[in-house]
C-alpha cells in the first residue's frame, strides 16, 4: 500500500493531466448538440461528388425559408381585421336626436316639412351607423376586409372603406340632404349632429391577432414526401432546384430526428472519441515540442481552460442565434497563447479549437477555413503585443481577411453579389473590436494563473521602477553592470531569435541580491577599501555565492515572476568562485570545492544561457588592460569555452552555431565599448 501511494505521488503530475484531459473532454462533449450529423457535404449549383444517394427512410420535403416567409406575408396581408360594434350607441343617438329635434327646428316650419326633416334625420343616422363610425383613424388599406362583431358574434364582413371616419360625418350628412333636396338645412343638421354623433366601432386587436396566429399555425412546412429507397440524386448531377431542397430536407431530418437511447449512446461515444483525439494531439505536441510547458500543470490547465472557454462561448452564441457566430473573437486564443508562450503553440491550439467547433457551427467548412486563415494572419502580424499600434493594425488585418474570405465564399455559393448579406460584415467588425479585449484579458490571466507576458515584461524593464531605483541607489556599480549586461544580452538574443524582452528584464534583475552586501562586490567599491581583505577566503566565497539566494528572496518579496527569477537562479550555474578557491588552496590543500561552488541550477533555456555568457564577459572585461581587438577576441573565446567545458549549457536548448553567433556579437559590442578600431597589418 505504501509503495502504491509513493507511486501515485511520484506520478501526481501525469495523473493531474489525465484528469484534466478527461474533464475537458466531457465538458466539451456536454456542450455539443447530441444529434446525428449528415455525412455528405454539398453546395448549391455544384455537382454531387458522392455515389448515387437513395433515401434511407421516409421523410418530408421541407419548404424553403423564402417560401414559408412568402406564405406568412400573404396570410398576414389578407387577414381579416375584427371590430367590435356597440349597437346601443345608435339607439342612444336616435333617442337624443328626437328629443332635441324640436329645439333645433322652429315652429315657423310647416308640419309637413318638419315631418320630412325628422325622417331625413333618421336617414342620416341610419346612413352613419349602417356599418359604423370608427373611434379613431386607423391606418389600414381601403380594400382590407373587416369583420364586425356584435356581442362577440360576427355580424357581417365589409371593406374598410365602408367604415366612416369621424372627419367624414359632415360629408355623409351633406350627401343625405342633397338626395332629399334639403341642403339649405345643412348647417342646422351639422350643428345638431355635432354633439349627438358618437363612434361605435373599436378595433379588436386581440381577436385579430388570435385569428391571424391560427391561420399562420395552419401553414404546412412540407411540400410532399420521399419514400424510402427512392433515388434522390445521381453522382455528377448538379445540385439545384428541387434536388437541393430534398437534400437540405434529408440533412435537417438527420440532425433533428429523435434518436433511440442506443443511437444516442453511440453518438455520445463517437463525440467523446473525436474530442479526446483532438485534445490528445495537443498533449502530445506539448510533450514532444514544449516539454517545459508540459511539465508545468498550471500552464497546461491554462491552455485547456482557454480552449474550453472558446468552445463554451461559441456554443452559447449558436444556441441563441447561429448568425452571430462570427461575432465570437476566436482569434483571441492564438493572441493570448502567443503572449504567454510562443506562436507555434498558439497556432496549434487555435487549429485544434476550430476543428472542435466544426462539429457545431453551420457551414463548418466555410467557418473552419475563415478561422484558420484568420488565426494564421493573427500569428504572422502580431509581433510585439505590448505595442498598442501593432494590436490595432493586426485586428484591422484580421477583420479585412474575414470580409474578403466571406465575400469569396458567398460568390462561390450564390454566383452573384446581389443577394449578399451586408450585415454579416458588421459581425466581422464587431469581432475585430471584441479581439481588442485581449489586452485586459492578458492582465486578468497574469493575476489568476501567475503567468507573465511581454506586456508585464515591458513594465518590469522600466529602470524607474521601485526595485531598480533601489538597486541604483544602494549598489550603483551593480546597476550599471546590469544595464551593460542587458544591452549585450538583448543584442545576442536578437541575433539568434531568442526572446529579447525577457532576457533584457532578466539581465536588469539578475544581480539584485548584491543589494544585501553591496560593498563586498568590486563594482561598488568606490573608496578603494576591500572588506574581503579582513575575511577568510571561505567566508568571502559564501558572501559572493549568497547573492543568488538573496536575489531570489528579494525577487519573491517584490512579486517578480518566476520567469525572471529563473535568471537570478541560473546566471552563475554551477560555476566556481575561482579567485577565493585559489586563495584558499594556497593556504589549505584540503579544500571542499562545494564551499566555493554556486548551487545552480545550470541554465535551462536559450535566454538563461545567453545571460550567463554576457554576465561573465561583461564582468571580466573590466580587468582588461590596454584592450585590443585581438585581446577581446581571445578573452571572449576563453570565457565562453570554459563554460562549455564545464557543461554549463548542457540543459539549455542552444546550439554551437548559436553560441558562435553570440560570441561574434559580444566581440563586436565590446570593441565598440572600448572604442577600438580595426587593427591593420604593418
Q: Per residue in 259-284, pLDDT tens?
A: 556 667 787 888 899 999 999 999 99
* C-beta separation of 67 from 99 below 8 A: no
How far, in Å, are 243, 370, 543, 672 from residue 46 at the CA level? 11, 21, 79, 67
What is the side-by-side strand order in the sheet with 145-150?
153-159, 145-150, 81-85, 201-203
Domain-terminating residue out of 434, 449, 464: 449
Tell me what percent of the residues of the chain surpass a pLDDT of 90.
30
Domain-terminating residue out of 258, 287, 318: 258
Let me know whether 286 and 381 are in one domain.
Answer: yes
| Residue 68 included in any domain | no
| Residue 304 included in any domain | yes
Let me know whether 154 and 90 are in one domain.
Answer: yes
Grid coordinates representing 636 are: 571572449
Let me know whether 606 and 476 are in one domain.
Answer: yes
* 592-602 confidence digits (pLDDT tens): 888 889 988 99
| Residue 139 included in any domain | yes
* 495-551 confidence digits (pLDDT tens): 998 888 899 999 999 999 999 999 889 888 877 788 887 888 888 889 999 999 999
Let me know whether 352 and 420 are in one domain.
Answer: yes
Q: What is the pLDDT of residue 440?
A: 87
State yes or no: pLDDT of 36 exceeds 60: no
Q: What is the mean pLDDT of residues 6-28?
A: 86
The whole-chain average pLDDT of the chain stands at 85
Let me know whether 508 and 547 are in one domain.
Answer: yes
Let me know whether 648 and 563 are in one domain.
Answer: yes
Domain-terminating residue out of 424, 449, 474: 449
* C-beta separation of 59 from 168 below 8 A: no
Q: What is the pLDDT of residue 106?
A: 67
| Residue 681 included in any domain | no
Q: What is the pLDDT of residue 43?
A: 67
Least confident of 363-372, 418-427, 609-618: 418-427
Range of the domain at 384: 2-29+262-449
| Residue 616 included in any domain | yes
Let me know whether 45 and 86 are in one domain.
Answer: no
Let me know whether 540 and 644 are in one domain.
Answer: yes
**Band of pLDDT at residue 680, cut at 50, 70 and 90:** very low
Total structural domains in the chain? 4
pLDDT top residue among 466 and 96: 466
| Residue 586 included in any domain | yes
Let me know whether 416 and 459 are in one domain.
Answer: no
Let me know whether 657 and 522 are in one domain.
Answer: yes
Let me know whether 612 and 631 are in one domain.
Answer: yes
Q: What is the pLDDT of residue 95?
A: 87
Least confident of 18-22, 227-231, 674-678: 674-678
Least confident of 104-118, 315-329, 621-635: 104-118
**Band of pLDDT at residue 139, cut at 50, 70 and 90:** confident
Q: DSSP string covering 232-250, please? A: EE-TT-B--HHHHHHHHHH
Q: What is the pLDDT of residue 49?
A: 67
Bridge partner list, 195? none
Q: What is the mean pLDDT of residues 312-320?
A: 90
What DSSP element (H or E) covers 83? Answer: strand 81-85
Give the span between the Cα atoms of 636 and 621, in whole angstroms.
9
Let me know whether 298 and 317 are in one domain.
Answer: yes
| Residue 69 included in any domain | no
All residues at 6 or more sequence positions from 681 whose CB lies less than 8 Å from its CB, including other chains: none
- Which of 88-92, 329-333, 531-535 tops mean pLDDT? 329-333
Give the span between the Cα atoms of 27 and 568, in whole angstroms.
41
| Residue 196 included in any domain | yes
Q: What is the mean pLDDT of residues 232-252?
A: 78
Q: What is the pLDDT of residue 509?
A: 95
Amino acid at each position: 500500500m505504501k509503495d502504491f501511494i509513493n507511486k501515485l505521488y511520484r506520478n501526481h503530475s501525469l495523473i493531474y493531466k489525465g484528469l484534466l484531459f478527461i474533464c475537458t473532454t466531457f465538458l466539451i462533449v456536454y456542450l455539443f448538440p447530441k444529434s446525428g450529423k449528415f455525412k455528405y457535404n454539398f453546395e448549391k449549383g455544384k455537382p454531387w461528388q458522392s455515389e448515387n444517394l437513395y433515401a434511407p427512410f421516409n421523410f418530408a420535403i421541407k419548404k424553403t425559408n423564402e417560401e414559408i416567409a412568402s406564405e406568412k406575408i400573404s396570410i398576414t396581408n389578407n387577414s381579416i381585421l375584427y371590430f367590435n360594434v356597440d349597437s346601443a350607441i345608435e339607439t342612444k343617438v336616435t333617442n337624443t336626436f328626437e328629443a332635441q329635434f324640436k329645439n333645433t327646428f322652429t315652429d315657423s316650419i310647416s308640419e309637413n316639412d318638419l315631418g320630412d326633416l325628422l325622417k331625413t334625420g333618421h336617414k342620416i343616422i341610419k346612413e352613419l351607423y349602417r356599418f359604423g363610425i370608427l373611434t379613431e383613424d386607423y391606418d389600414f388599406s381601403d380594400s382590407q376586409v373587416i369583420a364586425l362583431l356584435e356581442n362577440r358574434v360576427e355580424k357581417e364582413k365589409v371593406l374598410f372603406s365602408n367604415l366612416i371616419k369621424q372627419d367624414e360625418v359632415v360629408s355623409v350628412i351633406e350627401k343625405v340632404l342633397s338626395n332629399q333636396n334639403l341642403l339649405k338645412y345643412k348647417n342646422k343638421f351639422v350643428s345638431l349632429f355635432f354633439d349627438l354623433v358618437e363612434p361605435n366601432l373599436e378595433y379588436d386587436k386581440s381577436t385579430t391577432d388570435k385569428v391571424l396566429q391560427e391561420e399562420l399555425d395552419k401553414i404546412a412546412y412540407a411540400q410532399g414526401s420521399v419514400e424510402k429507397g427512392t433515388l434522390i440524386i445521381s453522382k455528377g448531377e448538379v445540385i439545384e432546384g428541387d434536388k437541393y431542397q430534398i437534400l437540405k430536407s434529408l440533412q435537417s431530418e438527420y440532425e433533428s430526428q429523435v434518436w433511440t437511447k442506443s443511437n444516442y449512446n453511440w453518438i455520445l461515444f463517437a463525440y467523446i472519441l473525436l474530442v479526446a483525439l483532438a485534445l490528445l494531439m495537443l498533449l502530445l505536441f506539448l510533450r514532444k515540442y514544449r516539454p517545459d510547458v508540459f511539465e508545468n500543470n498550471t500552464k497546461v490547465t491554462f491552455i485547456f481552460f482557454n480552449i474550453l472557454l472558446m468552445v463554451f462561448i461559441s456554443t452559447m452564441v449558436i444556441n441563441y442565434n447561429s448568425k452571430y457566430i462570427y461575432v465570437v473573437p476566436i482569434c483571441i486564443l492564438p493572441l493570448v497563447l502567443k503572449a504567454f508562450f510562443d506562436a507555434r503553440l498558439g497556432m496549434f491550439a487555435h487549429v485544434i479549437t476550430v476543428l472542435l467547433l466544426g462539429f457545431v457551427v453551420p457551414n463548418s467548412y466555410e467557418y473552419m477555413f475563415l478561422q484558420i486563415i484568420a488565426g494564421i494572419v493573427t500569428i504572422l502580424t502580431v509581433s510585439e503585443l505590448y505595442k498598442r499600434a501593432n494590436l490595432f493594425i493586426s485586428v484591422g488585418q484580421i477583420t479585412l481577411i474575414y470580409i474578403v474570405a466571406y465575400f469569396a465564399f458567398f460568390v462561390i455559393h450564390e454566383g452573384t453579389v446581389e443577394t449578399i448579406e451586408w450585415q454579416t460584415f458588421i459581425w466581422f467588425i464587431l469581432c475585430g473590436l471584441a479581439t481588442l479585449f485581449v489586452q485586459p484579458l492578458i492582465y486578468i490571466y497574469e493575476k489568476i494563473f501567475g503567468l507573465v507576458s511581454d506586456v508585464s515584461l515591458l513594465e518590469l524593464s522600466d529602470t524607474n521602477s521601485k526595485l531598480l531605483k533601489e538597486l541604483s541607489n544602494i549598489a550603483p556599480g551593480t546597476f550599471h553592470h546590469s544595464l551593460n549586461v542587458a544591452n549585450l544580452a538583448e543584442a545576442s538574443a536578437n541575433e539568434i531569435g531568442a526572446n529579447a524582452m525577457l532576457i533584457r528584464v532578466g539581465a536588469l534583475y539578475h544581480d539584485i541580491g548584491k543589494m544585501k552586501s553591496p560593498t563586498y562586490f568590486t563594482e561598488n567599491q568606490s573608496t578603494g577599501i576591500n572588506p574581503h581583505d579582513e575575511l577568510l577566503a571561505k567566508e568571502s566565497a559564501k558572501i559572493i555565492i549568497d547573492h543568488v539566494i538573496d536575489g531570489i528572496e528579494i525577487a519573491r518579496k517584490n512579486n517578480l515572476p518566476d520567469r525572471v527569477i529563473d535568471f537570478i537562479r541560473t546566471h552563475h550555474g554551477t560555476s566556481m568562485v575561482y579567485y577565493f578557491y585559489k586563495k584558499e588552496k594556497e593556504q589549505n590543500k584540503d579544500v571542499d570545492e562545494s564551499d566555493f561552488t554556486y548551487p545552480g541550477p545550470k541554465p535551462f533555456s536559450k535566454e538563461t544561457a545567453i545571460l550567463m555568457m554576457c554576465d561573465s564577459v561583461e564582468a571580466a572585461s573590466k580587468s582588461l588592460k590596454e584592450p585590443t581587438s585581438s585581446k577581446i577576441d581571445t578573452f571572449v573565446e576563453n570565457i565562453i569555452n570554459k563554460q562549455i567545458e564545464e557543461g554549463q549549457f548542457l540543459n539549455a536548448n542552444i546550439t554551437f552555431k548559436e553560441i558562435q553567433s553570440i560570441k561574434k556579437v559580444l566581440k563586436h559590442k565590446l570593441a565598440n565599448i572600448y572604442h577600438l578600431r580595426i587593427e591593420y597589418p604593418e
